[in-house]
Amino acid sequence: MLSVFLEVLRRDLLLAWRNRADVLVTLAFFTIVACLFPFGVGAEPNLLRTIAPGVLWVAALLATLLSLHRLFAQDHTDGVLEQLLLSPEPPVLWVLAKVLAHWLTTAVPLIVAAPALALLFDMTQSATMVLVLSLLLGTPILSLLGGVGAALTLGLRGGGMLLALLVLPLFVPILIFGAGAVDADLAGTGAAAHLMLLGGGSLAALALAPWASAAALRIAVE
């Protein structure tokens, strides 16, 4: 049972390593989107400090969205998905492995890069800490829910835009609590409640989303 999980995880990480340009592109996108905002709203430091949590969270969300279509597409075209579905192993396991690989290769680089971007927006040290924590707890939900969307739109014409339409409304609560955590820290009310809600959301998504993804994949491949 566990061996499938580890095998798929290893394979996906290896593939990601071979196509590491993709990971870098996602990271570059994240950085550029975040850097666009000062040009748009002006470089007034107080204003930048205020919008920073929201900007960084929106940028992370869009960067994740951009990478989602890769989650199952490769395996779909070369038939690996079909084989995995035919195997006796429960699909939830390897779906989870693939989502974990996606999170490790897209979200983790973003989280590592976030403090550097926080510097550009002159965020305080504690706010940056909270931002990183909120990203750590919130981005798994993006990958898990996004996986459902990616599975539903697998192989469809114009799948990328459709995927955005499907998952972006579902991402709104994560954005609210993620950016809200940093805001709460800045306001001095403490971010614990927000972070706990994000963590709870991650656990709930972990329990439910892989089943939906697996069901959607089965439909897509049938």
Partner 1 sequence: METGQRFSLFRYAAPQQFYPLAGRLAPWFAAAAVVFTLIGLYLGFFVAPTDAVQGEVYRVIFIHVPAAWMSMFVYLIMAFWSAVGIVFNTRLSAMMAQALAPTGAMFCFVALWTGALWGRPTWGAYWVWDARLTSQLLLLFLYFGFMALTRAIEDPRRADKAGAILALVGAINVPIIYFSVKWWNTLHQGASVSLTKAPSMATTMLMAMLVMALAAWAYTIAVVLWRVRPLILERERHTEWVGDVLETSEARA
Hey, which residues between 162 and 221 contact partner 1 (CB under 8 A)? Answer: 162, 165-166, 168-170, 172-173, 176-177, 180, 183-184, 201, 208, 212, 215-216, 219-220
Q: Which is nearer to partner 1, 68 or 145 (CB)?
A: 145
Minimum gap (Å) between residue 147 Cβ and partner 1: 11
For partner 1 (CB under 8 A), the number of binding residues is 29
Minimum gap (Å) between residue 14 Cβ and partner 1: 30
**CA nearest 197: which of 220, 180, 211?**
180
CA–CA separation, 148 and 96 (whole Å) = 11
Q: Which is nearer to partner 1, 91 or 180 (CB)?
A: 180
Instruction: Tell the residue number behind the tokens 């279509």, with chain if given.
Output: 69
DSSP 14-66: HHHHHTHHHHHHHHHHHHHHHHHHHHHH---HHHHHHHHHHHHHHHHHHHHHH
Residues of the chain by 3-state class (helix, strand, coil), percent to 5: 90, 0, 10
Q: Sign of the C-alpha dihedral, residues 170, 159, 107, 26?
A: negative
Minimum gap (Å) between residue 3 Cβ and partner 1: 28
**CA nearest 9: which of 86, 70, 98?**
98
Long-range contacts of the stretch 26-30 (C-beta < 8 A, 24+): 26/63, 26/66, 26/67, 26/106, 26/109, 26/110, 27/63, 27/109, 27/110, 27/113, 29/62, 29/63, 29/66, 30/59, 30/60, 30/62, 30/63, 30/110, 30/113, 30/117
55 counts as binding partner 1 under rule CB under 8 A: no
Q: Which is nearer to partner 1, 5 or 147 (CB)?
A: 147
18 counts as binding partner 1 under rule CB under 8 A: no
Binding mask 130-159 for partner 1 (x = CB under 8 A): ---------------x--x---xx--xxxx
Q: Which is nearer to partner 1, 101 or 154 (CB)?
A: 154
Q: Which is nearer to partner 1, 135 or 145 (CB)?
A: 145
Q: Which is nearer to partner 1, 26 or 153 (CB)?
A: 153
Minimum gap (Å) between residue 49 Cβ and partner 1: 16
Binding interface with partner 1 (CB under 8 A): 145, 148, 152-153, 156-159, 162, 165-166, 168-170, 172-173, 176-177, 180, 183-184, 201, 208, 212, 215-216, 219-220, 222
